[in-house]
Structure 1
Amino acid sequence: MAGRASRDMTEGPVFGHIMRMVIPMSFAIVAMMLTGIVDAYWVGRLGTAQQAAVQMSFPVSMLMMSVAIGLGAGAVSAVSRAAGKKDFSSVRRIATDALTLALLMVGAVSILGILLVEPLFRVIGATETMMPHVTDYMTVWFAGNVLIVGPMVASNVLRAIGNAVVPSMMMIIAAVVNLILDPFFIFSEVPFVGLPGLGWGVSGAALATVAANAVTFLLVGWYLAFREKLIDFSWPGFSEVFHHWGEIARVGIPACISNTFNPLSMVVVMGGFGMAQFGDAAVAGVGVGGRLEAFGIVPLFALSASIGAVAGQNGGAELTDRVRRAFLTSFAFCLGWGLLVALVLIVAQGPLAASFLPSAAGQEVARLYWMLVTLTVFGYGITIAASAGFNGLGRPSYGVMITSSRAIMVIGFSIAGAFIAGGPIGVIAGLAVANLLSGVGTAAYVLTRAPMTAKAGKGRKVPKPVDKVDAPA
């Protein structure tokens, strides 16, 4: 490969390549999670309206992030398959076109977002007390969104060529810079240390995120261009650029859709047909149970961000046995790690529940969640790993099928469980059954029936050469 830190993942132990990517990615995801928690803490010190405004913005910002994740998945798929074929000129061209597409798309959406902040959030339900803070926060966030999404797509390009350490370092740097800037940008006087700050309130919280990502954008841009030499400054013509954009979107759009199924299903589960009908304590119990579970299964999230590159490179090289091994070892890792996390949470359930939940009813629900849902969370890990792997192979329809099937199971079994049992145990049991059936079903299908070959989009039409004709005398 072109750069110094890139790796050929078509040779050597398949699981070794996966773990080499999962480990640094896990640390990076934890850093980003902690940033979100600390952000919420600092904004909460401003007041209830400010905190509510930032929380109200979360669904919109996550929707934008899902677009970035989709574009990143499309970039990983196209770049990794070209890398597997050892077509390094295409790797550079696709990487450049992927970044260009991301910047143009996100820039256009951000301009629209700035113009429509107020009407958009009034539709969502922002109150009059929230609205000024929503406008302050989201205007800055939209204005700097290119600087947030750019590093995400660039990091996906690096992972596609087997470079896992640098993208993870960039995420950790962004998290650390954000944590340092937050109190200085938000408050006139920094709490606990008494240093002067800028006092920009919720705008400062958004600007801290944008500034932190701007730093990483500069760093990762320099690294892509001058260390990995993945930026092609030549102009190949609109035909080739549009062809690459189409190939990235062919995977990226379904990946974006697939990425929304799990949060949408959980909205239903937590709503009036699910846990909410059993009271605040039940909702709080499941919420705490799920948040602690999420920290425990960070390596499974990291796995889903890593397997696409391994499957894509080996699929591009037509090494179907190695693709199958990537799926098999990933599923085994999901099973082992998921059961380990469940064991830890079950053993520590008493002290953990008491620490995070004031009511006995909420504590009981959290303990039930860990004993049933977390015990089967390996099934969720299998579904997200399989979906990401098929995206890497250029087969996003399989990923959509897997994630949508699980979402349907989650909604159906949870609502049915609530109706049959008449309490939180029914919803929790429904979630556990959905995890188990979707995980086992996905593993069985992938390993016995699903194709292990990479699939490219339609080839670019190249004009036929015109024979030279002598000019008439």
Structure 2
Amino acid sequence: MPKRIYKLGEKIYRFSEEDILNGHVGRTLVYLSFPLVLSNIIQVIYNLIDLFWLGKLGTEALAAVAYAWPIVFFFTAIGAGIINAGGVLIAQHRGAKNKEEISYTASQTVTFTVLLSFFLSLFGIITAKPILRLLGASPEIIPLACSYLYIAFSGMILTYGFIISRTFFQNIGDTITPMWITILTFGANIALEPFFIFGWSVFPELGLSGAAAALVTARGIATFIAILLFSRGYKGISIRLSYLLPNFSYLKRLARVGIPLSAEIAIRPLGTNAILPIVSPFGTGVIAAFGIGSRFLDLIFTPAVGISQAIATMAGQNVGADRYHRVVETAKKGVGGTFVIFALIGLITFWQAEFLARIFTTEAHVIKMVAQFLQITAFSFGFLAAIRAFIGIFRGAGNTFLAMMVSLFTFLLFRAPIALLLSRLFEETGVWWAYFFANIAGALVALFWFWKGKWQRRLVSTFAQVSSAE
């Protein structure tokens, strides 16, 4: 079945994984990106449907999820960093034609991810209530949020299994299989969620915890599929028992790549949260406008994440193959292409800002502020997309520290201080301008580091020495 799926994808896209090293760079980027962009759009659709069903449970349930989601995201980011570090190495080993090292890296990544998931699950369950109290959740909300968190933490290993199923294949150059896994996973989640929440048919009524149960169950399906594929050595990735024995020297090196990745993933939502205390004094209307505006940016830049992932795959494999000229060409076309696309999206957003604001709210004063937020930030969309593309280059090249630093400068060190300063001069409008200036500054920092060439970091020889010593 997987072979048939992939052959169908090849017929549609006329794409070979060898094109990553030898094919036309621009065309290959498009072929790699499209399934990833589609996968991310599917995830956005799922999030919207999820909010629809949770909205049926009332405002307390929505408030509980608002507290629970950032906590789950933070815990997920820790493991995702290790998984993505494994993905970077798989891409570089693929480029270097180190077939055994691909399977060794995949196996070691799975081992440490499983161990980490058990620790984080236990730690999360124990600390859920104290964390919620620390975040200021009311006594009425805490039990509801905990009902969601306990199930989400219990299924952490399945969440990581889902991420592994996408990351490993994506970095080997197969973006079709992750797309089908995503469609199946979120399709199952969407189908199961109302049954688990409302107790339809023979299912018990679980309420908010049912949403978490549906999510964990769907990701369990993805994990099962991944186990089947990896056990058969699909796409050259084989999880072998002999390779699963923990190699702590390898873990140390894996952590050096993975910890900055975990931080980079966590910085973006932290940057948004850092703005909340700045806009809070201006009233609930401004807070609502900020929430809608930041959510819109998350939605509109979903395709940019997929393109960034494709760029990382191309960069990783070409670094592994010592073809740095193709990495530079990938950067030029990837950064340039995303800049132009999102600059055009920015123009459309500026033109239709009020219409877009009305999709999210009916309150006239909030609509006005959301439209203003979108019109000010719209002309920096190209720069923000370029940041995502540069992060893909740095990730794929193995310099995850640079990827983390670009995120840190853009979303925290630039945006928050500028917002604090300008808000005192221009109130909420100053915060909107902070987004504009921070996006441009972040893109310039990323361009400078790329131009300096410090992103070049071939990891495969170092990691191969570790595994060959076993």
Alignment TM-score, normalising by the size of structure 2: 0.90
Contact 1:254 1:400 in 2 (8 A): yes
Larger radius of gyration: 1
Structure 2 partner of 1:107: 118
Instruction: Name the CA distance, whole Å, in 2 between partners of 1:196 and 1:111.
Output: 31
* Residues in 1 aligned to 2:312 and 2:468: alpha-carbon distance in whole angstroms: 33
Match of 2:21 in 1: 10
**In the alignment, residue 148 of structure 1 is paired with which amino acid?**
T
Taking only the aligned residue pairs, the percentage that are identical comes to 21
Measured in 2, the distance between the counterparts of 1:16 and 1:334 equals 14
Counterpart in the other structure of 2:237: 230
Per the alignment, residue 211 of structure 1 pairs with 217
Name the CA distance, whole Å, in 2 between partners of 1:106 and 1:324.
37
Q: How many residues align?
A: 453
Equivalent of 1:20, from 16, 23, 31?
31
Q: Does 1:397 align with 2:401?
A: yes
Identify which of 120, 129, 132 aligns with 1:118: 129
Q: In the aligned structure 1, how far is the partner of 2:245 from the partner of 2:196? A: 43
Distance 1:120 1:413, change over 3 A: closer
Residue 109 of structure 1, CA deviation: 0.9
Whole-Å separation in 1 of the counterparts to 2:199 and 2:244:
51
Query: How far apart, CA to CA, are the structure 2 residues paired with 1:358 and 1:318?
Result: 55
Q: Once the 2 structures are TM-superposed, how far is the Cα of residue 110 of structure 1 from its aligned partner?
A: 0.4
**8 Å contact kept, 2:185–2:221:** yes
> What's the counterpart of residue 408 of structure 1?
413
- 2: CA distance between counterparts of 1:19 and 1:320? 20
Shift of 1:210: 0.5
**In 2, Cα distance between equivalents of 1:133 and 1:357:** 26
Q: Does structure 1 residue 294 correspond to structure 2 residue 294?
A: no
* Counterpart residue identity of residue 338, structure 2: C
State the secondary structure of the residue aligned to 2:434. Answer: helix
Match of 1:305 among 306, 309, 313: 309
Pairwise CA distance, 1:436: 1.2
| Counterpart-to-counterpart distance in 2, 1:236 and 1:61 | 30
CA separation of 1:420/1:159 partners in 2, compared to 1, >3 Å: closer, same or farther? same
Query: Pairwise mapping of residues 251-400 of structure 1 onto structure 2 (< 5 A)?
Result: 251-271=257-277, 273=278, 275-400=279-404
**Cα displacement (A) at 1:457:** 7.8
Residue 109 of structure 2 aligns with which residue? Answer: 98
* Matches of 1:304 and 1:246, distance apart in 2: 26
Given the superposition, is the C-alpha separation of residues 291 and 50 from structure 1 closer, same or farther in structure 2, using an over 3 Å criterion? closer
Q: Distance in 1 between matches of 2:51 and 2:269?
A: 20
276-285 vs 101-110, greater mean Cα deviation? 276-285
Alignment of 1:144-155 (within 5 A): 144-155=155-166
- On the 8 A contact 1:185/1:205 being kept in 2, the answer is yes
User: 1:215 Cα deviation (Å)?
Assistant: 0.9
SS of 2:380 mapped into structure 1: helix
On the 8 A contact 2:107/2:243 being kept in 1, the answer is no
1:137 to 148, 151, 170: 148
The one-letter code of the counterpart of 1:408 is: L
Using a 3 Å threshold, how does the CA distance of structure 1 residues 123 and 426 change in structure 2: closer, same or farther?
closer
Q: Which has the higher helix share?
A: 2
Once the 2 structures are TM-superposed, how far is the Cα of residue 131 of structure 1 from its aligned partner? 2.4
CA distance in 2: counterparts of 1:356 and 1:445, whole angstroms = 38
Question: Aligned in 2, Cα 1:410/1:232: closer, same or farther, shift over 3 Å?
Answer: same
Contact 1:305 1:388 in 2 (8 A): yes
Partner of 2:439: 435
C-alpha contact (below 8 Å) 1:99/1:154 kept by paired residues: no
2:91 to 80, 94, 102: 80
Checking the alignment, whether the CA contact within 8 Å between 2:272 and 2:294 is kept in structure 1 is no
Pairwise CA distance, 1:12: 0.7
Greater mean deviation of Cα atoms: 312-321 or 331-340 = 331-340
- 1:171: how far off? 1.4
Say if 1:382 and 1:439, in contact at 8 Å, map to a contact too. Answer: yes
**Counterpart amino acid of residue 24 in structure 1:** P
In structure 2, do the counterparts of structure 1 residues 61 and 457 end up closer, same or farther at CA, with 3 Å as the change threshold?
farther
SS in structure 1 at match of 2:22 = coil
Do the aligned residues in 2 keep the contact of 1:247 with 1:457 (CA within 8 Å)?
no
Seen in structure 2, the aligned counterparts of structure 1 residues 419 and 112 have a Cα distance that, compared at 3 Å, is same
- The whole-number CA distance in structure 1 between the counterparts of 2:115 and 2:334 is 35
Counterpart for residue 176 of structure 1? 187
For residue 253 of structure 1, report the CA deviation from its aligned partner.
Answer: 0.6
Corresponding residue number in structure 1 for 2:428: 424
2:66 to 44, 55, 79: 55
Q: Supply the distance in 2 between the matched residues of 1:237 and 1:427 (Cα, whole angstroms).
A: 49
**Structure 1 counterpart of 2:41:** 30
Contact kept? 1:43, 1:50, Cα under 8 Å: yes
Q: Which residue of structure 2 aligns with residue 65 of structure 1?
A: 76
Specify the code of the residue in structure 1 equivalent to 2:267. Answer: F
Deviation at 1:176, TM superposition (A): 1.0
Q: How many angstroms does 1:35 deviate by?
A: 1.7
Partner Cα separation in structure 2 for residue 242 and residue 187 of structure 1: 46
The answer to whether structure 1 residue 162 and structure 2 residue 173 are counterparts is: yes
Q: Deviations over 1:434-471 (max 9, x none)?
A: 1112113322431354343524585646999xxxxxxx
| Cα root mean square deviation, aligned | 2.3
Kept after mapping to 2: 8 A contact 1:76/1:308: no
Q: For residue 32 of structure 1, report the CA deviation from its aligned partner.
A: 1.4
Would the aligned equivalents of 2:111 and 2:244 in 1 still touch at CA under 8 Å?
A: no
CA distance in 1 between partners of 2:171 and 2:37 (Å):
17
- Give the conservation status (yes or no) of the 8 Å contact 1:73–1:392: no
Q: Structure 1 residues 243 and 158 mapped into 2: Cα distance closer, same or farther (>3 Å)?
A: farther
CA deviations 1:339-382 (Å, max 9, x no partner) are 12112222222322234223332222212222221220222222
Aligned partner letter, 2:431: V
Instruction: State the SS of the aligned residue for 1:127.
Output: coil
TM-score by length of 1: 0.89
Letter in 2 for 1:163: D
CA contact (8 A) 2:282 2:428 kept: yes
How far 1:217 sits from its partner (Å)?
Answer: 1.1
Letter in 2 for 1:290: S
